[in-house]
Chain A
């Protein structure tokens, strides 16, 4: 199989006159990195990988063990639909290995592969479908606040032609890249869009999220527009989330589905949810990894604040969507805190690890919280035994650092580096004197 795939890739490059192959991989923070090689190098890269200096990549190597190998995964070979049709370029995702061939500890894709494989060994396939929100702004002017390109609202059809044209082009591009789109519409805030992807296995989906972010930015930039996945770009308006619809399949059967349950949820689904709820705080630093992420996780903006679940209540952390005609395959859970600035490989890894922990240890699912928690006061929440998600990156790091589950799931290398890097982000942030403070205190005190 692998030889045929290689042959297929080499032949495609030759037949399509591809001039440049971009070897893609992802650093610990979820930034897409690329090594460009010529077609002449490809055969060698496919069989032996390409050596590069990992110490130049965030979170990769320590200086004394700098060299690593990027080995392309031929199944991810795609021509890039933008750029010059006369000199096409292709991309292929890589797994990073040590020079001795073992998986490299600092590669987020390898972390997710490890978790996906563990699930497979237990006979399970993890499916993910993200609903990705983002903003379109006018070309950024240094020192000026960002200007949304339209003033449309939720599902608005009458928004500017530019917006819908951009969305249409983006969707066509995604589909050409083999990333099927389920829905797309204008979101609540001016300039805010949502594109929902069709479910696929977690590893392919993490690759797709990386490709998606690049495609959205690329197409916007070619049209003089700035696209951003910053979680909360505008104060006082909704932020951008990346709700994740998740299910587990055992062969052809949805392991989350049970005919005999009122909500169609199997015991596996309930324990998985219980795992997510119990470990939610510990994994939040990864699902919401920027200082800005926590400006989104506040009441009254459609984002979850409390660690709870409900069938159709958008204020909780987990929502169980009602499926059309109780379709067994569509039974799933929606985890609502992540934002599109996360590293999808690490986020999916931790969600799978937390959920599977619940399944393996038979965690008990707490009662549904169907009141609108945004309105509830602390006494009510206490009575219900409902905790809040971490309130800041700092809070999230404190919980994460104590978590055996996260340490084990990410591996020592990434865990240590991530905490160190994010601690320094927090320090840089908290020593600022902000406009909020000068406005409030300068005259009064």
Chain B
């Protein structure tokens, strides 16, 4: 799903009709900018959601634009470059300047899929180093967790399960989904494994926090407050 509330910067101005049409059909909000200056002036309050840059006309301009825009933003804006088959060697050693590329002429469905992946992975599943929920903190880099300032020592599977739940607060998950997302499909323990691990996690969270993981009768489990709880 394209997020119409976030704006893409599209270079150059005007973009090719195919690119404009593909972006419109996929439901993206976008604005064409011809230069870094124009990009700075037109930048929305929340910043650009991403950059789609067509390098087929002038590859020099494209790289200089990307170099500047990446330098001026502390967390890099997701960038996709459109290049012709003859320009592929241009990509070499410039990995830090773009996240994905697509060959022109492009297939609209492919560009759409690449954009969707690029923008999703940047927003929802961004590997933040810290996941926090109330008193609970998980440091994804060091694998350490704490609750109310006290360290929470878990086995690897308990940690993975808690991490998954904490990253998706308020959502209800069936046992099957938890099993496939946390253990992987090859795990043969069945959904009972999930129950056993949830019970262990609750034990480790301690009485006062055990309620963070709620059993949703005949469905599965939910972590933290649901959006629908008052």
Contacts and interface: CB of A to CB of B under 8 A. Distances in A.
Interface of A: 1, 4-5, 8-9, 11-12, 15-16, 74-79, 120, 125, 127, 174-176, 178-181, 198-201, 204, 249-252
B106 interface: no
Contacts of B154: 178
Contacts of B151: 16
A252 B193 CA distance: 9
B192 interface: yes
B188 A178 contact: no
A144 B143 CA distance: 51
B144 A76 contact: no
Interface stretch (B31-39, B49-57, B197-205): B197-205
A314 to B, nearest CB: 27
Nearest to B187: A1
Given A8-B143, A125-B190, A198-B199, A252 B156 contact: no
A16 B153 contact: yes
16 contacts: A8-B143, A11-B143, A12-B153, A16-B151, A75-B155, A78-B155, A125-B190, A127-B192, A175-B204, A176-B204, A180-B199, A180-B200, A181-B203, A249-B190, A252-B190, A252-B191
B156 A178 contact: no
B144 A12 contact: yes
Contact of A178 (B142, B158, B193, B206): B158
Contact of B156 (A8, A199, A201): A8
A401 B154 CA distance: 43
A178 B143 contact: no
B130 to A, nearest CB: 14
B155 A76 contact: yes
A11 B175 contact: no
Contacts of B192: 125, 127, 249, 252
Contact of B144 (A5, A16, A75): A16
Contacts of A9: 156
Given A12-B143, A15-B142, A74-B156, 11 more contacts: A8-B156, A11-B142, A75-B156, A77-B156, A79-B153, A175-B203, A175-B204, A178-B158, A199-B196, A201-B189, A251-B191
B98 interface: no
Contact of A251 (B184, B190, B199, B206): B190
A75 B189 contact: no
A165 B47 CA distance: 58
Interface in B117-156: 142-144, 151, 153-156
**Interface size, B (range):** 20 to 34
B190 to A, nearest CB: 4
B200 A8 contact: no
Nearest to B151: A16
Contacts of B175: 252
A210 to B, nearest CB: 16
A178 B159 contact: no
A24 to B, nearest CB: 14
A419 B64 CA distance: 81
A8 B153 CA distance: 12
A15 B188 contact: no
B200 A178 contact: yes
A331 to B, nearest CB: 13
Nearest to A7: B143
B108 to A, nearest CB: 38
Contacts of A176: 153, 203-204
A5 B153 contact: no
4 pairs of A and B residues whose beta carbons are closest in the complex: A175-B203, A79-B153, A251-B190, A252-B191
A78 B158 CA distance: 11
Contacts of B193: 201
Q: Identify which of A174, A180, A249 gathers the most chain B CB atoms within 10 Å of its CB.
A: A180
Contact of A15 (B143, B155, B157, B204): B143
Nearest to A175: B203
Nearest to B153: A79
Nearest to B201: A178
Given A175-B206, A178-B200, A180-B203, A75 B157 contact: yes
B214 to A, nearest CB: 17
A204 B142 CA distance: 26
A180 B204 CA distance: 9
Interface string B160-198: 000000000000000100000000100011111100100
B55 to A, nearest CB: 38
Nearest to A178: B200
B110 to A, nearest CB: 32
Nearest to A199: B196
